[in-house]
A and B are shown apart, each in its own frame.
Chain A
Amino acid sequence: MNNKKPSNARSIIAHVTLIILSFMCLFFFYILLINSTRSHAELQKGFSALPSSHFMENFRAVANDGTFPMLRGIVNSLIVSGCCAAICTYFSALTAYGLYAYRFKLKNAAFTFIMMILVMPTQVTAMGFLRLITKMGMYDTLWPLIIPSIASPAVFYFMYSYLQSSLPLALVEAARIDGSGEFHTFNRIVLPIMKPAIAVQAIFTFVGSWNNYFVPALVLQSKDKMTVPILIATLRGADYMNFDMGKIYMMITVAIVPIIVVYLFLSKFIIAGVTLGGVKE
């Protein structure tokens, strides 16, 4: 009895704290969703906790707005994020496999080098990057947002840890004896084994690229190439007070909700992925 009571109190405190924190996390999204269903006039009257019926109206207003081509922006963002996720995971896996399965002179040097730049911010090279892509004629195109993701040290490191724990080199040897070429071995044997790691990193790369604002804001100029975060920034810079508030909430909804929906479907997988290879037992 004596032992149980403090534990109960602790349990209550823990649950109350968690509920408060969850409330803080969800509250803003709840208001966002509610407000995206309300018209400008209703929004002016003040807050209401219940949804209204103007969702489609607001959505159409966003879809047809030429100054903020939101749907075009979503397509651009999808192209960039999808390509980034694909090439980033493929080449990171390739690099990791190259450093894991082969022995060569510069192996240790290459590994050390990647570890040194593991957490280097991209912003420090932004100025040279901007000048370089201008010289290469890639200014105001989507290429400079996609191609550099081939070299992603953090994704490489994740793949490398994963290979260490799940690819026995004997398997590679066996494939060689069976006459499999090196590229063939990688594509047909190693990649399937790495599927879980690739899936996790593809999601994180996709989300990271979808949310990226700094580099696209420097690189993209014309309206029809803009990605979602830049459109949001343009919206913030515009003459805000004269806007239809319902439309503004709808624009934010359109930017945020796709990711939330995907997350809800994959949440278990994603949360396991945060720590997968995060701490080795």
Chain B
Amino acid sequence: MDDKKQQKSISYAKWGYIFILPFFICFFIFSFIPLLDTIRYSFYEYYRSGLKEVGPNFVGLGNYIALLKSDLLKYAGNTFILWMIGFVPQIVIALILAAWFTDARLKIHGEQFFKVVIYLPNLIMASAFAMLFFTMFSNAGPVNSILQSLGWIKAPIDFMGSVGGTRSLVGLMNFLMWFGNTSIMLMAAIMGISPELFEAASLDGCNHTQIFFKITLPLIRPILSYTLITSLIGGLQMFDVPQILTNGQGSPDRTSYTLIMFLNSHLKASNYGMAGALSVYLFIVSGILCFIVYRMMNDDGEKKPKRNKKEAVK
């Protein structure tokens, strides 16, 4: 009997392997092999100039050093600034909205309507959204024309011509696309807090501000840090919006040029060595961030952020 049972579970184990096999084969072919290939060529001089292919010649860490000497750090700084401009208002607004929506005494009328509207931009094609902003904020576009007809400005504002203008537009788009998503995530987190805590606090005479800072905020801290890290990973991948808005130039003067735009231009130019080294840098940074997420998902037993398919702020 015992023997039979043993046999049975072994025969079922086979099915476990069969069921997870497609995932792992697919991952192995389309992610793992490319990763190894990327790492390998990061040590080679390998690029195309015209029709001629140069390399691959082994150069050790040459590409890595060359990258550091180029504008890599400037682009990393740009990416970070663009992410911050979108993320800071996003998290502040999302916290406030989540607190309001979950406040039983503060009856929000049309709650479902507002949720639907604030989540809407998240589903919009980022490239089309950027194209839309490009036409709207151009010198002859509707925004300038509205501002002029209202008499608020005399000459059209050259949004895309100034560093602050371009960066603000990218930040604004990221903010609009992600604050609804974050609000809804945080709302769910706050609703997971036991209502008795809020009742007890208000019986003890706490006001809204005190409840928010002393109860809500500390209790949703795990989700907040999770949001922060996934948003950082999303920010690291920022590409569509600045790429389309500035036509891949990162203008003015490459001040809105992000890391992935840099990678994209190396890939488009078939500059495999440099693209490889840049990918490895990105891999190391995102690997660290991934590990932090992994730890967060596994450390605490309850109230853990379970899933966020759509990382906040791209």
| CB-CB nearest in chain A for B271 | A127
**Chain B residues with Cβ under 8 A from A101's Cβ?**
16
User: Least Cβ distance of B290 to chain A in Å?
Assistant: 5
**Chain B residues with Cβ under 8 A from A222's Cβ?**
none
Q: Taking the complex as formed, is B171 at the interface, i.e. its CB lies under 8 A from any CB of chain A?
A: no
Q: How many A-B residue pairs have CB under 8 A?
A: 316
Instruction: Contact check, B290 vs A110: say whether CB atoms are below 8 A apart.
Output: no
**Chain A residues with Cβ under 8 A from B123's Cβ?**
207, 211, 259-260, 263, 270
Instruction: Contact check, B114 vs A18: say whether CB atoms are below 8 A apart.
Output: yes
Which of B13, B22, B187, B189 is the one whose CB lies under 8 Å from A105? Answer: B13
Which of B20, B27, B130 is the one whose CB lies under 8 Å from A98? Answer: B20
Instruction: Classify the interface of chain B: helix, strand, loop or mixed.
Output: helix
Instruction: Contact check, A21 vs B106: say whether CB atoms are below 8 A apart.
Output: no
Instruction: Contact check, B307 vs A281: say whether CB atoms are below 8 A apart.
Output: no
Which of A92, A98, A118, A130 is the one whose CB lies under 8 Å from B267? Answer: A130
Q: Taking the complex as formed, is B213 at the interface, i.e. its CB lies under 8 A from any CB of chain A?
A: no
A150 to B130, CA, bound (A): 29
A3 to B142, CA, bound (A): 46
Instruction: Classify the interface of chain A: helix, strand, loop or mixed.
Output: helix
Q: Taking the complex as formed, is B87 at the interface, i.e. its CB lies under 8 A from any CB of chain A?
A: no
Cβ < 8 Å to A, chain B residues 136-186: 136, 140, 142, 145-146, 149, 176, 179-181, 184-185
Instruction: Contact check, A127 vs B34: say whether CB atoms are below 8 A apart.
Output: yes
Q: Flag B274-287 by CB within 8 Å of A: 1 or 0 each.
A: 01100110110011
Q: Taking the complex as formed, is A64 at the interface, i.e. its CB lies under 8 A from any CB of chain B?
A: no
Instruction: Contact check, B124 vs A128: say whether CB atoms are below 8 A apart.
Output: no
Instruction: Contact check, A263 vs B306: say whether CB atoms are below 8 A apart.
Output: no
Instruction: Contact check, A150 vs B240: say whether CB atoms are below 8 A apart.
Output: no
A11 to B110, CA, bound (A): 13
Which of B26, B291, B307 is the one whose CB lies under 8 Å from A157? Answer: B307
Instruction: Contact check, B30 vs A252: say whether CB atoms are below 8 A apart.
Output: no
Known: A127-B34, A204-B309, A232-B128. A116 touches B117 (CB 8 A): no
Cβ < 8 Å to A, chain B residues 13-70: 13-20, 22-24, 26-27, 29-31, 33-38, 41
Instruction: Contact check, A103 vs B93: say whether CB atoms are below 8 A apart.
Output: no
The residues of B with any CB-CB pair to A shorter than 8 Å are 9, 12-20, 22-24, 26-27, 29-31, 33-38, 41, 93, 96-97, 100, 105-109, 112-121, 123-136, 140, 142, 145-146, 149, 176, 179-181, 184-185, 187-189, 191-192, 208, 223, 230, 233, 236-237, 239-240, 243-244, 247-248, 260, 263-264, 267-268, 272, 275-276, 279-280, 282-283, 286-287, 289-291, 293-294, 297-298, 302-311
Extra contacts besides A102-B16, A208-B310 (13): CB < 8 Å: A99-B20, A118-B297, A119-B230, A119-B233, A123-B279, A124-B35, A124-B280, A127-B267, A127-B275, A207-B123, A211-B125, A213-B125, A235-B131
24 of the cross-chain contacts (CB-CB < 8 Å) are A7-B105, A14-B106, A21-B93, A22-B117, A25-B117, A28-B132, A95-B19, A119-B233, A119-B289, A122-B31, A127-B263, A128-B33, A128-B38, A158-B309, A229-B127, A232-B127, A232-B244, A233-B243, A237-B247, A252-B128, A264-B116, A268-B116, A270-B119, A274-B310
